[in-house]
Amino acid sequence: MKQVTLHQLKVFEAVARHNSFTRAAEELFLTQPTVSMQVKQLTRAVGVSLFDQVGKRLYLTQAGEELVKTCRAIFENLEKFEMTVADLQGLKQGRLRVAVITTAKYFIPRLLGPFCRRYPGIDVSLQVTNHEHIIGRLNDNADDLYVMSQLPDYLDITYEAILENPLVVIAPADHPLANETNIPLERLGDEPFIMREPGSGTRKAVQELFDARDITLKVQLDLGSNEAIKQAIAGGLGISVLSRHTLALEGVCNQLTILDVEEFPIERYWYAVYPNGKQLSIVARTFLDYLLTEGKDFAQKTAPRRTSAQIPSNGTPPPSDANSEDQGHPVDHPPAS
């Protein structure tokens, strides 16, 4: 074991967590042969097999399971040490690891920029991924903070709302309903919808609204990215419901319009999340405080709020308001930061 390196342990833990050499390589920005070689060297140093491979699937041996526990204990102790050093150094040096849901890429990098300029000694790692992988990283305590809009109700977490995330109805700029106001929700019953995959937070919110009004949501097309949905809308394939933030800085937006539909925007929130009981470093705490203050300013610039509804913290968001000041206008000029 004296020959074991910390790098080998990190590679092994990633393979064990993903049950895949390929996915571990992608996470660590290594080649698959490099990952395989690191695990082989670690296995040789330990002296017993760490994985069993049955067909194409990997399974941890008993020794592998024990080593995973040891790895995570080592990483946790190292993280506590790093936090202690960061606290001693203040904000002159440090590391910040943030993982965000895909849609948050429209605003988190724009918030990170001023923060990094304010604290140039801090190294920032930003992971952008889907809801499933965010939950996996949160469950593994792989990052300092997580930004998401759909809170997991089965994990013990602490969360704070950082800004509003209004969901709006998007249509082609020449849609027949583009110039109408207060459109009854029932009129969307015959419209073909382009939506994210089943299980996404946005689709769930829309489905619940339609179900409550006994209206059929006709999903004509499932797409895996907001960019693809916007291009499909511009191409006349249907309408959709997206976060207002997805319209920022997008060249296709002059081909889209926000419809003025009753019950919209659906009010949701972006949350900063971390495991309950986790001790945030001074860097992470400073960034969280920054999000709570700067996030409100950003929301005013990029997604004008309809109401002054109180943003919740570890509670249930207030019910949606059917009135909107941000509807029925072509998105000719994406808002600037």
Q: Domain residue spans in the chain?
A: 6-74, 90-165+268-302, 167-259
Q: Measured between alpha carbons, how far is residue 50 from residues 16, 42, 46 in Å?
A: 9, 9, 9
Q: Which of 9-13, 105-109, 162-166 has the highest mean pLDDT?
A: 9-13
**Average pLDDT estimate for 269-291:** 89
pTM: 0.62
Q: Which residue has the tokens 């300013």?
A: 297
Q: Which two tokens stand for residue 27?
A: 């996470």
At residue 227, what is the residue type? E
313 neighbors 124 (Cβ within 8 angstroms): no
Q: 6-74 in CATH: which number?
A: 1.10.10.10
For the CA atoms of 155, 99, 265, 335, the dihedral, rounded to the nearest 10 degrees, stands at 170
Sign of CA dihedral 122, 125, 131, 134: negative
pLDDT digits (tens, 9 = 90+) for 302-336: 543 333 333 445 544 433 333 333 333 333 333 33
Question: Which sign, positive or negative, has the C-alpha torsion 158, 297, 111, 149?
Answer: positive
Question: Which class does domain 167-259 fall in?
Answer: alpha beta
Residue 89's pLDDT is: 66
- The Cα–Cα gap between 241 and 171 comes to 9
Same fold: 6-74 with 90-165+268-302: no
Q: Is the pLDDT of residue 239 over 90?
A: yes
Would residue 55 be called left, alpha or beta, if left means φ above 0 and alpha means ψ between -120 and 50 degrees?
Answer: left
Per DSSP, the three-state class of 193 is strand
pLDDT in tens, 55-77: 888 899 999 999 999 999 898 88
Average of per-residue pLDDT across 91-117? 86
Tokens at 8, concatenated: 């080998």
Lowest average pLDDT, out of 57-61, 99-103, 193-197, 300-304, goes to 300-304
Q: What pLDDT band is residue 93 in, cutting at 50, 70 and 90?
A: confident
Give per-residue pLDDT as tens, 169-185.
999 999 999 999 999 99
Which residues are within 8 A (CB) of 248 and not within 5 positions of it... i.e. 6 or more apart? Answer: 106, 107, 302, 334, 335
Homologous superfamily of domain range 90-165+268-302: Periplasmic binding protein-like II (3.40.190.10)
Question: Is the pLDDT score of 186 beyond 80?
Answer: yes
Q: What is the model's pLDDT at position 213?
A: 92
Structure tokens at 311: 């943003």
| Average pLDDT over every residue of 149-159 | 89
pLDDT of residue 106: 83
Residue, of 197 and 48, whose pLDDT is higher: 48
Q: How confident is the model at residue 131 (pLDDT cuts 50, 70, 90)?
A: confident
CA distance linking residue 39 with residue 118, whole number of Å:
40
